[in-house]
């Protein structure tokens, strides 16, 4: 702080910061309240949501011959915490429009009108692409993964279904496991939280992968990447997508190829979108007269003055060199 600063100047300079902090506090409080309301609403339907998320496992078990697919929990609080976890995830999804609106109202006053028009579509496109990725994971990837994982083990409840064909004197509700002559039966006793965990991981992973066009297009609009640059590193992107497919999918070639095809297709779409953004930006700059297609026809006054000064200096240096040479030849 300089000695010339008065207390009034200090108070005036700090006032905008205090106003911004107060505005930020208001937006955060509203976002948290919306998140809490979303959690409460999601908790009321958490069990149907859980049944929906576990549908791929249920269908796979029934395909393998299990007449009554069953999952278990091994601690008293496990099932409640599982429902609460679902409530938090889907509560955030319900509250996201309100949270995004509050973020937008906080950031928008600091942006120009053209910047607001450029940024707003990405706020809308991001949740849409995440929903597409989550749907792809739930209806395509997760069933394939469950078929791969559960195909290695026998289903435990099949043994109970064999009761009527093995023992006739016991009640129908009794369960009898047939004796085995050798070996150990490997059966599936699925836990609710672990089964839900792998489903949510697929949903989040593919939802984030589907953000690729949104991210690259936004970076292209900001001038951080170009269509030519993305095309030049296409082979490296293919290797990276293959590694990603190997990490987030089961060791199943079919599932990995599906993920690679989808994500690489999104990469190519991103290149087209970035190219379109660059074309619109170039057209706008051309209309404003910043540059022309014909470089010779483009007249920049600053460059013209610089070239003229440079030519004059070269001519003067050549003249001085000629005078020195003449003086040396004169006896």
Per-residue CA distances from 263 to 119, 267, 270, 292 (Å): 24, 6, 10, 37
The answer to whether residue 224 sits within a structural domain is yes
Question: Does 267 map to a domain?
Answer: yes
Task: Judge whether 136 lies within some domain.
Answer: no
Which phi and psi angles does 156 have, rounded to 5°? Answer: -65, -40
Taking Cα atoms as reference points, which of 53, 109, 111 lies closest to residue 85?
A: 53
4, part of any domain: no
C-beta atoms surrounding 91 within 10 Å: 22
pLDDT tens digits, one per residue of 91-141: 998 998 898 888 888 887 777 776 666 677 778 888 888 899 999 988 988
Range picked from 101-115, 127-141, 157-171, 288-302 for highest mean pLDDT: 127-141
Domain range enclosing 245 = 211-288
Contact between 275 and 173 under an 8 Å Cβ cutoff? The reply is no
Question: pLDDT tens digits, residue range 228-250?
Answer: 888 888 889 899 888 887 887 76
Q: What is the DSSP letter of 178?
A: P
Number of neighbours of residue 3 by Cβ within 10 angstroms: 5
Number of domains in the chain: 1
Q: What is the pTM of this model?
A: 0.69
3-state helix, strand, coil in the chain (%, to 5): 75, 0, 25
* 222: in domain: yes
Give the pLDDT of residue 295. Answer: 46
pLDDT band for position 323 (50/70/90)?
low
How many residues are there in the chain? 331
């Amino acid at each position: 702080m300089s000695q010339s600063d008065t207390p009034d100047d200090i108070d005036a300079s700090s006032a905008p910061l205090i106003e911004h902090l107060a505005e930020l506090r208001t937006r955060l409080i509203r976002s948290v309240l919306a998140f809490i309301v979303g959690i409460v609403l999601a908790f009321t339907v958490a069990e149907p949501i859980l049944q929906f998320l576990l549908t791929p496992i249920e269908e796979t078990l029934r395909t393998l011959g299990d007449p009554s697919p069953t999952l278990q929990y091994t601690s008293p609080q496990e099932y409640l915490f599982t429902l609460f976890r679902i409530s938090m995830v889907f509560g955030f999804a319900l509250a996201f429009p309100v949270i995004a609106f509050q973020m937008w109202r906080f950031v928008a006053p600091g942006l120009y009108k053209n910047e607001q028009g450029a940024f707003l579509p990405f706020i809308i496109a991001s949740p849409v692409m995440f929903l597409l990725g989550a749907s792809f994971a739930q209806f395509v990837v997760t069933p394939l993964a469950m078929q791969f994982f559960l195909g290695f083990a026998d289903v435990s409840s099949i043994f109970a279904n064999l009761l009527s064909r093995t023992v006739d004197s016991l009640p129908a509700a009794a369960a009898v496991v047939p004796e085995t002559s050798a070996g150990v039966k490997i059966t599936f006793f699925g836990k609710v939280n672990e089964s839900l965990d792998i489903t949510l991981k697929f949903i989040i992973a593919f939802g984030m992968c589907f953000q690729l066009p949104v991210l690259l297009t936004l970076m292209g609009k900001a001038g951080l990447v170009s269509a030519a640059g993305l095309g030049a590193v296409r082979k490296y992107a293919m290797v990276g997508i293959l590694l990603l497919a190997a990490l987030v999918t089961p060791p199943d070639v079919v599932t990995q190829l599906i993920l690679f095809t989808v994500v690489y297709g999104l990469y190519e779409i991103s290149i087209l979108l970035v190219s379109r953004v660059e074309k619109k930006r170039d057209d706008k700059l051309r209309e404003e007269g910043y540059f022309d297609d014909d470089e010779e026809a483009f007249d920049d006054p600053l460059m013209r003055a610089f070239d003229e000064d440079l030519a004059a200096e070269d001519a003067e240096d050549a003249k001085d060199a000629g005078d020195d040479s003449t003086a040396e030849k004169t006896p």
